[in-house]
Amino acid sequence: MKNKSKELTIITVVKNDRSGIEKTIKSIILQKTKRVEYIVVDGNSKDGTKKIINKFKDKIDKIISEKDRGIYYAMNKGITNSSGNIIGFCNSGDILFPNGLKTILKNFKKKKIDVLFATVKRNYIGKTIIKHGFKKNRIFYNFDFATTHSTGFYIKKKIHDQIGLYDTKFIISADYDFYLRLIKLNKFKLGSSNKKNIIGEMMSGGHSSKFSYIKHLNEETKIRLKNKQNLILVILIYLNSVIKNFHKII
Protein backbone atom coordinates (compact mmCIF):
# COMPACT_ATOMS: atom_id res chain seq x y z
CA MET A 1 0.00 0.00 0.00
CA LYS A 2 1.32 3.42 -0.94
CA ASN A 3 2.10 5.71 2.00
CA LYS A 4 -0.38 8.53 2.50
CA SER A 5 1.37 11.85 2.02
CA LYS A 6 2.20 13.93 5.10
CA GLU A 7 2.42 17.69 5.41
CA LEU A 8 6.11 17.69 6.32
CA THR A 9 9.04 15.27 6.10
CA ILE A 10 12.10 15.81 8.29
CA ILE A 11 15.21 13.93 7.19
CA THR A 12 18.28 13.24 9.32
CA VAL A 13 21.47 12.19 7.55
CA VAL A 14 24.15 10.53 9.68
CA LYS A 15 27.31 8.48 9.45
CA ASN A 16 29.39 7.43 12.47
CA ASP A 17 28.09 10.03 14.91
CA ARG A 18 26.98 8.16 18.01
CA SER A 19 27.72 11.25 20.13
CA GLY A 20 25.31 13.46 18.21
CA ILE A 21 22.55 11.32 16.73
CA GLU A 22 20.49 10.70 19.87
CA LYS A 23 19.87 14.35 20.73
CA THR A 24 18.86 15.01 17.11
CA ILE A 25 16.37 12.16 17.02
CA LYS A 26 14.89 13.10 20.42
CA SER A 27 14.46 16.74 19.39
CA ILE A 28 12.23 15.60 16.52
CA ILE A 29 10.27 12.64 17.85
CA LEU A 30 9.30 14.45 21.06
CA GLN A 31 7.25 16.92 18.97
CA LYS A 32 6.39 14.79 15.92
CA THR A 33 2.70 14.47 15.01
CA LYS A 34 0.75 12.44 12.46
CA ARG A 35 1.23 15.36 10.08
CA VAL A 36 5.00 14.84 10.11
CA GLU A 37 7.07 12.01 8.63
CA TYR A 38 10.54 11.34 10.02
CA ILE A 39 13.26 9.60 8.00
CA VAL A 40 16.79 8.72 9.13
CA VAL A 41 19.38 7.95 6.44
CA ASP A 42 22.48 6.26 7.84
CA GLY A 43 25.59 5.65 5.75
CA ASN A 44 26.15 2.16 7.18
CA SER A 45 27.75 3.45 10.39
CA LYS A 46 30.25 1.21 12.22
CA ASP A 47 30.60 3.08 15.54
CA GLY A 48 27.36 2.18 17.31
CA THR A 49 25.22 4.84 15.62
CA LYS A 50 22.88 2.21 14.17
CA LYS A 51 22.23 0.78 17.62
CA ILE A 52 21.13 4.20 18.87
CA ILE A 53 18.88 4.72 15.83
CA ASN A 54 17.23 1.34 16.34
CA LYS A 55 16.48 2.27 19.94
CA PHE A 56 13.96 4.76 18.52
CA LYS A 57 12.78 2.72 15.52
CA ASP A 58 9.15 2.71 16.71
CA LYS A 59 9.14 6.52 16.52
CA ILE A 60 10.91 6.82 13.16
CA ASP A 61 8.83 6.30 10.02
CA LYS A 62 11.68 5.09 7.80
CA ILE A 63 15.24 4.02 8.53
CA ILE A 64 17.57 3.58 5.58
CA SER A 65 20.99 2.20 6.50
CA GLU A 66 23.34 1.35 3.67
CA LYS A 67 26.64 2.43 2.22
CA ASP A 68 26.51 5.53 0.05
CA ARG A 69 28.89 7.89 -1.70
CA GLY A 70 28.52 10.97 0.49
CA ILE A 71 26.17 13.33 2.27
CA TYR A 72 24.39 14.62 -0.83
CA TYR A 73 23.71 11.08 -2.07
CA ALA A 74 22.15 10.41 1.33
CA MET A 75 20.10 13.60 1.20
CA ASN A 76 18.76 12.74 -2.25
CA LYS A 77 17.89 9.26 -0.97
CA GLY A 78 15.89 10.81 1.85
CA ILE A 79 14.00 13.09 -0.55
CA THR A 80 13.12 10.31 -3.00
CA ASN A 81 11.86 8.13 -0.13
CA SER A 82 9.77 10.90 1.43
CA SER A 83 6.01 11.34 1.32
CA GLY A 84 5.78 14.86 2.78
CA ASN A 85 4.58 17.87 0.79
CA ILE A 86 7.35 19.89 2.45
CA ILE A 87 10.94 18.66 2.92
CA GLY A 88 13.47 19.73 5.55
CA PHE A 89 16.73 18.42 7.02
CA CYS A 90 17.95 18.23 10.59
CA ASN A 91 21.21 16.36 10.32
CA SER A 92 23.01 14.48 13.06
CA GLY A 93 24.23 16.75 15.85
CA ASP A 94 21.74 19.52 15.04
CA ILE A 95 18.42 19.93 16.83
CA LEU A 96 14.93 21.33 16.38
CA PHE A 97 13.60 23.25 19.37
CA PRO A 98 10.22 22.41 20.94
CA ASN A 99 7.39 23.66 18.69
CA GLY A 100 9.87 23.92 15.80
CA LEU A 101 7.80 21.60 13.62
CA LYS A 102 4.62 23.51 14.45
CA THR A 103 6.33 26.80 13.55
CA ILE A 104 7.45 25.46 10.17
CA LEU A 105 3.95 24.27 9.24
CA LYS A 106 2.36 27.47 10.52
CA ASN A 107 4.63 29.62 8.34
CA PHE A 108 3.85 27.67 5.17
CA LYS A 109 0.11 27.81 5.80
CA LYS A 110 -0.11 31.44 6.90
CA LYS A 111 2.24 32.93 4.32
CA LYS A 112 1.34 30.57 1.42
CA ILE A 113 5.02 30.17 0.54
CA ASP A 114 7.00 27.57 -1.41
CA VAL A 115 10.26 27.93 0.54
CA LEU A 116 10.98 28.84 4.16
CA PHE A 117 14.26 30.14 5.55
CA ALA A 118 13.78 29.64 9.29
CA THR A 119 15.62 31.42 12.10
CA VAL A 120 18.28 29.24 13.72
CA LYS A 121 21.06 29.46 16.26
CA ARG A 122 24.31 28.59 14.49
CA ASN A 123 27.47 27.64 16.32
CA TYR A 124 30.88 28.33 14.84
CA ILE A 125 34.19 27.60 16.51
CA GLY A 126 34.51 30.35 19.09
CA LYS A 127 31.17 32.08 18.51
CA THR A 128 27.41 31.62 18.23
CA ILE A 129 25.12 33.77 16.10
CA ILE A 130 21.44 33.93 15.20
CA LYS A 131 20.88 33.43 11.48
CA HIS A 132 17.67 34.95 10.19
CA GLY A 133 15.98 35.47 6.86
CA PHE A 134 17.61 35.77 3.47
CA LYS A 135 18.86 38.38 1.01
CA LYS A 136 17.82 36.97 -2.33
CA ASN A 137 20.10 38.94 -4.65
CA ARG A 138 23.16 38.46 -2.44
CA ILE A 139 23.54 34.89 -3.66
CA PHE A 140 24.85 36.18 -6.99
CA TYR A 141 28.03 37.41 -5.28
CA ASN A 142 28.03 35.76 -1.82
CA PHE A 143 26.67 32.32 -0.93
CA ASP A 144 26.21 33.34 2.70
CA PHE A 145 22.85 34.85 1.77
CA ALA A 146 20.49 32.95 4.10
CA THR A 147 20.22 30.97 7.34
CA THR A 148 21.48 27.37 7.20
CA HIS A 149 20.63 24.25 5.26
CA SER A 150 20.24 21.77 8.13
CA THR A 151 17.45 22.96 10.49
CA GLY A 152 16.92 26.23 8.59
CA PHE A 153 15.71 25.39 5.06
CA TYR A 154 12.30 23.95 4.11
CA ILE A 155 10.95 23.50 0.61
CA LYS A 156 7.89 22.06 -1.09
CA LYS A 157 8.71 18.69 -2.59
CA LYS A 158 7.10 19.61 -5.92
CA ILE A 159 9.97 22.05 -6.51
CA HIS A 160 12.41 19.14 -6.63
CA ASP A 161 10.32 17.76 -9.48
CA GLN A 162 11.00 20.97 -11.39
CA ILE A 163 14.64 21.73 -10.63
CA GLY A 164 15.98 18.35 -9.56
CA LEU A 165 17.85 17.06 -6.52
CA TYR A 166 21.31 17.93 -5.13
CA ASP A 167 24.10 17.67 -7.70
CA THR A 168 26.38 15.01 -6.22
CA LYS A 169 29.41 16.03 -8.25
CA PHE A 170 29.75 18.83 -5.69
CA ILE A 171 30.94 17.16 -2.49
CA ILE A 172 31.11 20.26 -0.24
CA SER A 173 28.50 22.78 -1.35
CA ALA A 174 25.80 21.10 -3.44
CA ASP A 175 23.27 22.98 -1.30
CA TYR A 176 24.65 26.27 -2.72
CA ASP A 177 24.20 24.95 -6.24
CA PHE A 178 20.61 24.05 -5.37
CA TYR A 179 19.96 27.52 -3.90
CA LEU A 180 21.35 29.18 -7.02
CA ARG A 181 19.17 27.07 -9.32
CA LEU A 182 16.16 27.82 -7.14
CA ILE A 183 16.65 31.59 -7.10
CA LYS A 184 17.69 31.89 -10.74
CA LEU A 185 14.40 30.34 -11.79
CA ASN A 186 12.62 33.16 -9.94
CA LYS A 187 9.18 31.55 -9.93
CA PHE A 188 8.71 30.45 -6.32
CA LYS A 189 7.54 32.40 -3.29
CA LEU A 190 10.24 32.59 -0.61
CA GLY A 191 9.61 33.46 3.02
CA SER A 192 11.29 33.58 6.41
CA SER A 193 10.20 33.03 10.00
CA ASN A 194 10.17 35.69 12.69
CA LYS A 195 13.66 36.60 13.92
CA LYS A 196 12.70 36.00 17.56
CA ASN A 197 11.15 32.63 16.80
CA ILE A 198 14.26 30.40 16.72
CA ILE A 199 13.30 26.93 15.54
CA GLY A 200 16.56 25.03 15.98
CA GLU A 201 20.30 24.94 16.48
CA MET A 202 23.11 23.94 14.14
CA MET A 203 26.30 22.74 15.79
CA SER A 204 29.84 23.56 14.66
CA GLY A 205 32.03 20.96 13.03
CA GLY A 206 29.63 19.82 10.32
CA HIS A 207 30.38 18.25 6.93
CA SER A 208 31.72 21.38 5.25
CA SER A 209 34.14 22.13 8.11
CA LYS A 210 36.22 19.12 7.05
CA PHE A 211 37.43 20.96 3.94
CA SER A 212 39.90 23.83 3.56
CA TYR A 213 38.80 27.34 2.64
CA ILE A 214 40.43 27.10 -0.79
CA LYS A 215 38.57 23.86 -1.56
CA HIS A 216 35.33 25.59 -0.60
CA LEU A 217 36.16 28.53 -2.84
CA ASN A 218 37.16 26.38 -5.80
CA GLU A 219 33.96 24.35 -5.63
CA GLU A 220 31.79 27.44 -5.22
CA THR A 221 33.48 28.89 -8.31
CA LYS A 222 32.62 25.73 -10.28
CA ILE A 223 29.02 26.10 -9.08
CA ARG A 224 28.86 29.66 -10.39
CA LEU A 225 30.31 28.64 -13.75
CA LYS A 226 27.93 25.68 -14.02
CA ASN A 227 25.04 28.08 -13.49
CA LYS A 228 26.36 30.35 -16.24
CA GLN A 229 27.22 33.39 -14.19
CA ASN A 230 29.25 36.04 -15.99
CA LEU A 231 32.88 34.86 -16.20
CA ILE A 232 34.36 38.26 -15.34
CA LEU A 233 32.07 38.54 -12.30
CA VAL A 234 33.06 35.03 -11.17
CA ILE A 235 36.77 35.91 -11.46
CA LEU A 236 36.23 39.10 -9.45
CA ILE A 237 34.34 37.20 -6.75
CA TYR A 238 37.14 34.65 -6.58
CA LEU A 239 39.91 37.26 -6.32
CA ASN A 240 38.00 39.29 -3.74
CA SER A 241 37.48 36.16 -1.62
CA VAL A 242 41.16 35.28 -1.80
CA ILE A 243 42.20 38.78 -0.72
CA LYS A 244 39.67 39.00 2.13
CA ASN A 245 40.43 35.52 3.43
CA PHE A 246 44.13 35.19 2.66
CA HIS A 247 44.82 34.34 6.31
CA LYS A 248 42.59 31.24 5.97
CA ILE A 249 44.41 30.10 2.84
CA ILE A 250 47.94 30.34 4.24
| CATH code where residue 17 lies | 3.90.550.10
239 and 175 share a domain? no
Range of the domain at 238: 211-250
The count of structural domains within the chain is: 2
21 and 38 share a domain? yes
Query: Can you give the pLDDT at residue 1?
Result: 36
What does each of the 250 residues of the chain score in pLDDT, given as a tens digit? 345 779 999 999 999 999 999 999 999 999 989 999 999 999 999 999 999 999 999 999 999 999 988 999 999 999 999 999 999 999 999 999 999 999 999 999 999 999 999 999 998 877 899 999 999 999 999 888 988 889 999 999 999 989 999 999 999 999 999 999 999 998 999 999 999 999 999 987 666 667 788 999 999 999 999 999 999 999 999 998 888 876 766 6
83 and 61 share a domain? yes
- What type of residue is 34? K
Residue 205 domain-assigned (yes or no): yes
Query: Can you give the pLDDT at residue 2?
Result: 46
* Burial group, residue 221, by CB count within 10 angstroms (0-12, 13-18, 19+): middle
87 and 191 share a domain? yes
Query: Can you give the pLDDT at residue 13?
Result: 97
Residue 90 domain-assigned (yes or no): yes
200 and 218 share a domain? no
179 and 224 share a domain? no
Query: Can you give the pLDDT at residue 55?
Result: 96
